Every structure is written in C-alpha cells, then in structure tokens.
Structure 1
C-alpha cells in the first residue's frame, strides 16, 4: 500500500500505473485538504477568485453570481473535449496517480471528497476514457474534466464506480488545473528509458568485446578529461563490465577505435545526465501544488500566478529526446562495425556464407529507420507555442507535445538496441568468445541464448522480436 503525503517518487507513479500496489490516503492529509477547503470558501467571499467567482480564459472578467450552483458542472462539461484513439489504461492510471499525489499537497482548495473518489477510482481500476488529442498549453484540461465527469457518473468508467454528487465551482477548475497526464506519461517514459540506458551499456560491452575494442576510452583519465556530467558514472560501469572476461590479456585490435566505440562514455553520459535531470524535474512537479488560483493558507490569500507554466518540464523532455538523437548515430556505427569484415574479422554482414549472402544487412537498415524516427522526434517542442482563448493564453507551451515525442523516441530506441544486440551476439558466437564471458556479461549472454543460432540467410523479423523483451531484463543486470 502506497501512503500518500510527503515526497512521492516516479516509482510510486509507475507502481500504481502497473497495478502493483494500491493507494492509501492518511487522515492527516485529508484533514489538511478539508481545512484549506473551508479557508478557500471564506477567501472566495472576500476576493475575486478565478474560475470560482469569475469565468475562465477569455471569460475571466465575467462575474459568476453566488447563486449559480450549476457553474462548476458547466465548466467541466464544456472542457471535457478530446478526440482520437483512446490512451492505454496504464497511461490513464499514471495520470490519476499523479493528480491524486498533487492534490495531497494542499493548495487547490477543493472538496476533500474528491480525493477519496479518486482513490476509489485508482484502487478499483474504474478508469475514465481519455482520448489522444486534447488540450495543449497550460494544463491537461480535457483529460481531467473527463475524469471528473466519470467520477460524477456522467461518463462511463471501465468498471463499476459509485458516482459522486455533482461538483460545485469550488472544485471544478481546481481539479482540472494540472498537467497530470503529461507528468504521468513522462514518469512512465523516463522509468523505461532508465532501464534501456542501462541495457545499452551491457549491449555496448558485448559489441566492444566482440570487436576487441580499446578500453582506454573508458579509463579514469579519459573520463576526467571529458569534463562532463555522468561520464565517470558510465565509464565506471563499463570498467566493471569489462572485467567480466576470462581472457583479460587479449590485446585491443586498434590503437584508436572508431567513434562508435570510443565516444560512447561521453555520448551516453549525456543521456544519463538528461534522464536524471528529467527525473528531478518530474519529482518536483509531482510534489508541488501548482493550481491556479492557489490558496495560500499561511498568508490567508488567493494567489493568481503562472507556476503551472511548464517551461522547465518542456525543456527537460526536449533534452532527453535530443540526448537520444545524439547517441543514436554512434549505436549505428557499432552495428556497421559488427557487419564490416574489416572490423568483425569474418564475413560481410556476419553471413554464414561469404558469397553474396546478406546476413544482417537489413538489420542495419532497420536500425537506420529507427534513427530516422528518433531524429524526427527531436525537433524541440519547447520552441512551439500557440495563442489560445482569444489571447488570454498568449504563449501556451507545447509541453504535452514534448512527451509525445519522447515516447516516439523511446520506442525507436528500443528497436535500435535490439538491432545491436542481435549483431553483437552473433559475432560473439561466430568468434567463440561466448564462453569467455563471466559475471554480468555472462548473465547477459545467458539471456541472449533465446536468440536463434542459425546464421543462414532467413527472415530476421523474429530475431528482433525475440530481442525486444530481453532489453528490460538486461537493464536490470546493472
């Protein structure tokens, strides 16, 4: 049971998205939200409060009469507009988990009953349907408005869910005022990429050993000379993996390796640094009350602000996507080395027969297609903005587009790693080096024993499909 309150992590979001745990609301959290709900009601009688005593967006100057009890529901219904294909249940769960975690940090001023309703929705897996195209800019309004209508019973849930009473203006906008869907999707993406980047180091070292690389590239001196964040972390990891050889005296094949082997610690250090920077930004966002307006209990005031403006998150998402685009070509370089008789010491494309056999030729083409997708997704979303709501939002960010692009990059990165793994294992087998590897590399080869051993020209789709589920397991080895 995950007890909310305090500092929650990406792992908590992923556990709830995967239904590996349930969520519990401590009474202290519910009480704190209830106290602020009462204080917010009083503050809204003394001060004009956006979305509560006024309209929203370009309607922010319109006053809402105190006796307009239907305004909250009208606001939810009008904002619950999305289109396209339904998002996967796991993605929807990540959004719900993020929103509940955020609401446990008092600031929204909404009814605490909503936290309990959201808790039931998560634990009972009674999910709203969220479609692909919705709001962009200052929050995931449509997805959260649709979630509210599902909690209230105006939209069906995926399982039985006792409907809540209609919401008032005290809760409608505060519940929607969040980028919970973008943050949830980002949590899932970065958790996957942290596994894949570790798998990349294992696969790199399999290629490195198969190609008799020069270990000076990840020596302590080389790492210090890079003067870049996380390079030493990667180099230390590679040195530990390189020690898992039964024949440590085998000399390197070259004085100076091609970039695919030589600059991996530097390029991959950038990936690691970008991912952990994204983790830190996500966890700050996850544990912050960013609703607009914000009710400041200590200052006894209503704060109208722009803290919800996800410029930092947008930049971090772009940074992770760009880091993958930076490292992808050197992965392709290693795949070319594995296929090249000048570096693999055998047949072109690791074919069984040198006389015109294609071997892994088309695996290199598949890898190139994956790189094209990564590069296409690397156009920075943070440079894009739109003017919305008759100019009320004159610079709405594309943070939600940033996570779409990172998800595309992650999927293509998986394919790229699969292509290298297939080639590295084939060359190790052809050279008879498999039995020389111990430790983590030995475990990696045990996992890779699922890959077909037939080197004759054949349909290789199954090889890549077999490699794909191995990546997450390889990433767990270090």
Structure 2
C-alpha cells in the first residue's frame, strides 16, 4: 500500500502502483487539507463571491457569471463538452497513472474538492477500474483538458472503462458489478479534475520507466557487441572518464567493465588494432550523455507529480484565491523533448554497432552473420530495419515544445504541446527498443561465431537467457518474429516481465 500525501510521490512508487497494481491510500493530514479547502469553496458559494471556475464560465467565458442554482450543471457541462479526445486510447497503465497523479494533486488541499471525490478516485484505482482515454486532443496548456475530461466522465458514471480482460465497456456496467457509486460534481470540482498536466505527466512517467530500462539494456547489449567484435576494453578505464568529470559517463564505463569482466573475447589496445570506431570507443560518453538527460527528466517528472496544477488555487483557508497558470505544461514539454533526443541517440549508436556486426568490410565475421553467405542473407535486412527506425526517430525528435497555437478565442494564446511531446517520446522508445533488439540478435550470433565459451560470466548468463527465446541463425527465417520476441523481453511493461525484478538484476 502506497500512502499518498500530495508531496512525496516518487517514480519508484509509481512503478509499484503501475506494474504491480499496488493499492493506494490517502494520508490523514492530506484529508484534513482537502476538507479545509472544500470549506473555503462552500463559503465562497454561500457568500456569492465571484470566483473563476466556481461561479463563472471557463476560458473566454470567464466573465460570464453563473447563477447559484446552475453551479452543478456548470460542472457537468464542462466535463461533457471537454471530453472530445480523439485517436486510439492510451494503454491502461497510462490511464491508471493519470488517476494516481490527479488524486495526488487534489489531496494537496489547494483545489477545493470534496473528500468524497478523492475517496472515489482512490477506490477506482484500488479496484483497477481504468478509464478509456483517447490519446489526442490536448494542447498541454489549460491543463490536459480533453484527456482529463474523459477520466472525469467515469467519476460521474459516464464514459468507458476497461474490464478485467481489457475489453472496453460502459462505466455504469463495471460500477454495478464492483459496487461503486458515481458522484455528482459540485462547485469547482469539474474544473479541478481537468485543469492540470496529469495526462502528459502520466505518459511521461511511463516513458521514463521504459527509457530507463532501455538505457540499462543498451549497456549489456553493447558489451556483447564489444565481445562479438573483439573490442578494446581499455576505453572503459576509470581514469579516462574521471578526467572528464561527468558522473553518468563514469557510471556507464564502470558498468561496462563489470559486464565484460572475465571475457576472453575482448582485446587491449595494440593487440589487434590501436583504436576502435566511435560506436564502440565512445559508449560511455554517448550513453552517459543520455543518462544525463534521463536524470533531468526524472527530476522534472517527480516535481510535477507532486505539483498543484489546478486553477484557481485556494490558499489561507479561502482568504486568497488566485487564478494563475500552473496548468501550463512547458516544463514537461521540454523534459519530454529532451527525453526524445536521449532515446534517439541510444538507438543511433546501437544501429551503428549493428552495422559493424554485419558488414564484412568492418569485421572478421561471416558476411551479414549468414550461415551461408550469398545463399542466405542472414542479418542483412535486419540492419535495414534498424536504419529505418532510427531515421523515423529523427523526424519524431523534432521538438514539440517550440510549437504553439492560440485557443479559446485567443484567451489561451500560448500553449506547450507537452502531450504531443510525451506521445512522440513514447513512439520513439518503441522504435529504439526494436533497434536494440536487432543489435541484440546480431550480437548473440557474433559471440557464437567467436566462441560462447569465451564470453564473460555475466554476459554468458544473458546469452543463455536470450537463446531461450531466440535460436541461433542456422538458416534464414522470418526475423521480424525474433525482433518482436526480443522487444517483448526488453519491455519492462510487458505482462510477462517485472520491472522490480529486472532492476534488482541490474543493480
């Protein structure tokens, strides 16, 4: 059970909530904050004060005063009208993340919602009732309005959810089955549910979990390639990396040494050649730079995961109510664009290593790792596929955060496109993992040609595990099936994998 406080949620806790579907609870102090904040809203309503989102319209309609008898309809109309997302739905894990993050934001006590609402959110999370939320339609500035509106629909007993088999059904059906009571939204609650960055951050958290594992996996796969190409291990000497000073670079070099310790396939400088190509020699520098970006992304995500991004926010027991712009997703838009670049480079350098494994002009292995060069093509077209994926990533890496388009009659005249950045980052991670899968298949074959008995003890275990999924290339076959198998093995979110177990193995 993870206790949510609104202030202390971490990526590691999110892994437990998302992967293991660990349940959540709300701290007593947070519930007190929720209660006090709600009292302030009810006092505003009773005193007939004019406050944005409580008794006014929204966006360009902010100057329209709403009659007190219409306050509930105002919130209901808001959710229905804003639920105009399009495209394929997010995976369930992203939907679950959105619910957790929205709950964590509301219990900070700045949003003025009732205890019943946050308790309902927690109940849905703990009963694994996940809304079906279309991926497209958010500008990432007035909050992720469209995606969060689809989440809010479920709280009022409308909209769609996933059942236990992953089938999409009406929320009313699952509510009846699991004895859940929908809620009638009161003053401010609809706005509080949809103002925020929780869609882009939820996708960003899932992206980070996948990208972090991708970065770890890229190291042992690169190490196996080093063995397949009899690479020079002097390049991982700690003195080189300490001389430059980047801790992430130092860490990558250290892990590479650990993966290759005891190998009889690697060489020293001058034994076979003086220097390797950059894709081998500069692994710590390139991978380390990607780790720097990942560290930045994690820092920003963990701040935003615990941020109040509603509007307006309520302070000092209702004495101060301020309309601001914490819903603007620019920090996460930048972080996701940075993540895209980091992931692109892990894939770029991996594809270049694959080229070195299959190109007979660059190694002493059979051409294209083919069992019968000429008659059988071997890994030739796998490298084509990798090249295609890294080229596609280069187009997706174009920053979404530098774009903006006005909305709401120019009231909302600068937007972040953070949701777009987050979605594109997710697409790039899928591409990059398949590029690594291709390098992995080629590296497995290369060390087999070189002599598996000479592989380092740590990599021998990896080789044996992967050979349980991917047989040796003894003749040409449909390699796309092999690529997908490795992709699934490397995917920390795949149903047969455990992120927590993989991390223990890594560390």
Of residues 168, 187, 190 in structure 1, which corresponds to 2:205? 187
Cα pair 1:229 1:270 within 8 Å, conserved: no
Which stretch of the first structure deviates more once superposed, 242-251 or 132-141? 242-251
2:67 counterpart residue number: 65
Cα pair 2:386 2:434 within 8 Å, conserved: yes
Question: Structure 1 residue 421 and structure 2 residue 440: aligned?
Answer: yes
Question: Structure 1 residue 129 and structure 2 residue 132: aligned?
Answer: yes
Q: What SS does structure 1 have at the residue aligned with 2:114?
A: coil
Distance 1:82 1:344, change over 3 A: same
Distance 1:475 1:265, change over 3 A: farther
Question: Structure 1 residue 116 and structure 2 residue 134: aligned?
Answer: no
Of residues 86, 89, 98 in structure 1, which corresponds to 2:89? 86
Matches of 2:267 and 2:384, distance apart in 1: 35
1:285 counterpart residue number: 304
Deviations 1:404-431 (A, max 9, x none): 1101100001110011001111010011
Question: Structure 1 residue 253 and structure 2 residue 256: aligned?
Answer: no
1:28 counterpart residue number: 29
Distance 1:150 1:299, change over 3 A: closer
1:4 counterpart residue number: 4
Q: What SS does structure 1 have at the residue aligned with 2:135?
A: strand
1:218 counterpart residue number: 236
Cα pair 2:445 2:473 within 8 Å, conserved: no
Matches of 1:87 and 1:413, distance apart in 2: 20
- The number of aligned residues is 477
Q: What SS does structure 2 have at the residue aligned with 1:159?
A: helix
Which stretch of the first structure deviates more once superposed, 314-323 or 130-139? 130-139
Matches of 1:456 and 1:323, distance apart in 2: 36
Matches of 1:274 and 1:47, distance apart in 2: 46
2:391 counterpart residue number: 372
2:150 counterpart residue number: 146
Runs (5+) with no aligned partner, structure 1: none
Distance 1:152 1:327, change over 3 A: closer
Of residues 45, 53, 59 in structure 2, which corresponds to 1:51? 53
Question: Structure 1 residue 275 and structure 2 residue 294: aligned?
Answer: yes
Matches within 5 A, 1:150-189: 150-155=154-159, 156-157=170-171, 159-160=174-175, 162-189=180-207
Deviations 1:49-68 (A, max 9, x none): 21112211111111122332
2:382 counterpart residue number: 363
Distance 1:390 1:439, change over 3 A: same
Distance 1:215 1:475, change over 3 A: farther
2:458 counterpart residue number: 440
Q: What SS does structure 2 have at the residue aligned with 1:382?
A: coil
Which stretch of the first structure deviates more once superposed, 294-303 or 346-355? 294-303
Cα pair 1:367 1:416 within 8 Å, conserved: yes
Normalising by structure 2, what TM-score?
Answer: 0.89
Of residues 279, 283, 287 in structure 2, which corresponds to 1:264? 283
Cα pair 1:344 1:427 within 8 Å, conserved: no
1:386 counterpart residue number: 405
Cα pair 1:127 1:159 within 8 Å, conserved: no
| Cα shift at 1:19 | 4.8
Which stretch of the first structure deviates more once superposed, 381-390 or 75-84? 75-84
Of residues 461, 470, 476 in structure 1, which corresponds to 2:489? 470
Q: What SS does structure 1 have at the residue aligned with 2:158?
A: coil
Which stretch of the first structure deviates more once superposed, 362-371 or 218-227? 218-227
Cα pair 1:260 1:332 within 8 Å, conserved: no
| Cα shift at 1:119 | 1.0
Deviations 1:170-229 (A, max 9, x none): 311112111211111111110011111100000000001111112232222321344545
2:331 counterpart residue number: 312
Cα pair 2:434 2:484 within 8 Å, conserved: no
